[in-house]
Chain A
Amino acid sequence: MTTTKPLPTSKPVAGDVISARSVVKSYGNSPALRGVSLTAARGDVLAVTGPSGSGKSTLLSCLAGILRPDAGEVRFAGRRIDTDNEAARSALRRREFGVLFQFGQVVPELTAQENVALPLLLSGVRRREAMTAARSWLDRFGVADLADQRPPQMSGGQAQRVAVARAMVTEPEVLFADEPTGALDTLAGEQVLDQLMRVARDGGTTVLLVTHDAKVAAYADREIVIRDGMVDGQSTSQATTSVGQHRIHT
């Protein structure tokens, strides 16, 4: 099934879609990121891994414009976004980014279809068009039969599929996913990831996948390891023989 993108958007991005340069972020006196740099091109699927508290979720929040770094730069399609005000960053998130968390944060009072339609409605798409698009995205993730149900009536796996459909309904350039299957059992998590990656790769969506789970990271083409707020190394799908060859600048 194909859908048409209901939002006006920029042309497909060439080169680096998202990049960070020497990003620093602290919470009070506690440094979370200490000069992280990375780039992701269109269609890249990149896993950001590391121990708990390493700074990987903070990195995702800085890249997605949820947090503003204390220093360094974040760019989307070559344009610096960390200096944008909250309204501009929020608009960017609605139109170009999809964000998915461990607990999908679907709105319990809304039906599955209304939940998925929500980002489109907030962007000014007419209700009828938004609901049609939402229905087709629920169908792509195999939960069209839940369209009229509300999250409390769904299993965790079903609710997360609704959340995934909502994150993808705007056909974002970049999907930021933070432990997207962390709350699901192994099989349900795999099914959600299989579908998500298939849809993302088919659409050329860049995916940044934050996880501490190597089995989730193995869905990505590339891994960046964060330790103590710094990049500790990275690896790619290609054969790897030397850590030194794959270290990137911090």
Chain B
Amino acid sequence: MSAGHALLGLLADGERHGYDLRRQYLRRFPAAKPLAAAQIYATLERLLRDGLVAAGATERAGGPDRTIFTVTAQGRAELHRWLSEVEVPSEYVANLLSMKVVLALLVADEKSAADFLRRQREAHLARMREHTRVKSDPDADLLRVVAADYALNHLDADLRWIDTTLQRVTQLAEEIRP
């Protein structure tokens, strides 16, 4: 998972400070492993160094100073590049697909999210074909077959989610951007 891209996505609709980003992250990705505060600030420092975000005014409201961050044009370009990039299907279940859909809906539109899901479906099915060829080979040993089975079932689970989400994307768009 790319914490940097997640923060860029959450900054895309307006300026935020680190604490607010952490709250937004929890709200937008409730099933994701929470980002520690230190990780958020370290990631923001890196984004700042790379010119992907800019630091603005400092806020103080009954607590420590809080620096406001905004996404730069370069950061926005990097975010869109990342959002349009098909993920190489992993052998592990990853919530990255769900996150991309949510962020695509936040920073772009329903069509972008649906297009991503369709292209991701193709990438998953292409990988499933590769595993199927491996396990269908009459000379394949059982260890390879069992390993291919594992990968196939995980990819199949993702693919079912992709199909279901494609059916729900209109409703999801309305819920995220009422």
Chain A positions within 8 Å of B, measured between CB atoms, are: 51, 190, 194, 197-198, 214-215, 217-221, 223, 233, 235, 237-243, 246
Once the chains are docked, how many angstroms separate the CA of A198 from the CA of B138? 9
Considering the complex, give the chain B residue whose CB is closest to the CB of A243: B118
Known: A198-B138, A240-B122, A243-B122. A215 touches B115 (CB 8 A): no
Once the chains are docked, how many angstroms separate the CA of A218 from the CA of B115? 21
Known: A214-B159, A214-B160, A215-B156. A235 touches B132 (CB 8 A): no
Once the chains are docked, how many angstroms separate the CA of A110 from the CA of B119? 48
Residue B107, interface by CB 8 Å: no
Cβ proximity bits B156-178 to A, threshold 8 Å, 1 near / 0 not: 10011001000100000000000
| Residues of B close to A240: CB separation below 8 A | 119, 122-123, 126
| Residues of A close to B136: CB separation below 8 A | 194, 197-198, 219
| Residue from the list B119, B128, B138, B167 in contact with A214, Cβ < 8 A | B128
Q: Let me know if B115 and A243 touch, CB within 8 A.
A: yes
| Residues of A close to B86: CB separation below 8 A | 241
5 A-B pairs, CB-CB below 8 angstroms?
Answer: A51-B163, A214-B160, A233-B118, A235-B121, A243-B119
Once the chains are docked, how many angstroms separate the CA of A51 from the CA of B162? 13
| Residues of B close to A218: CB separation below 8 A | 125, 128-129, 131-132, 152
Q: How far is the CB of A75 from chain B (nearest CB, A)?
A: 28
Which residues 138-167 in B have Cβ within 8 Å of A in the complex? 138, 152-153, 155-156, 159-160, 163, 167
Q: How far is the CB of A200 from chain B (nearest CB, A)?
A: 12
Tally of B interface residues using CB under 8 Å? 25
| Residues of A close to B121: CB separation below 8 A | 235
Task: Beyond A51-B167, A218-B128, list 19 extra A-B contacts (CB 8 Å).
Answer: A51-B163, A214-B125, A214-B156, A214-B159, A215-B152, A215-B153, A215-B156, A218-B131, A218-B152, A219-B132, A221-B129, A233-B118, A235-B121, A235-B122, A240-B126, A241-B119, A243-B115, A243-B119, A246-B122
| Residues of A close to B155: CB separation below 8 A | 214
Once the chains are docked, how many angstroms separate the CA of A241 from the CA of B123? 8
Once the chains are docked, how many angstroms separate the CA of A220 from the CA of B132? 9
Considering the complex, give the chain A residue whose CB is closest to the CB of B164: A51
Known: A215-B156, A219-B132. A242 touches B125 (CB 8 A): no
| Residues of B close to A219: CB separation below 8 A | 129, 132, 136
Q: Let me know if B126 and A235 touch, CB within 8 A.
A: yes
Known: A215-B152, A235-B126. A242 touches B119 (CB 8 A): yes
Q: Let me know if B119 and A239 touch, CB within 8 A.
A: no
Known: A218-B152, A219-B132. A239 touches B115 (CB 8 A): no
Once the chains are docked, how many angstroms separate the CA of A114 from the CA of B125? 39
Closest 8 CB pairs of A and B: A218-B128, A240-B122, A235-B122, A218-B132, A243-B118, A214-B159, A218-B129, A194-B136
Once the chains are docked, how many angstroms separate the CA of A7 from the CA of B47? 71
| Residue from the list B118, B119, B125, B138 in contact with A217, Cβ < 8 A | B125
| Residues of B close to A242: CB separation below 8 A | 119
| Residues of B close to A220: CB separation below 8 A | 129
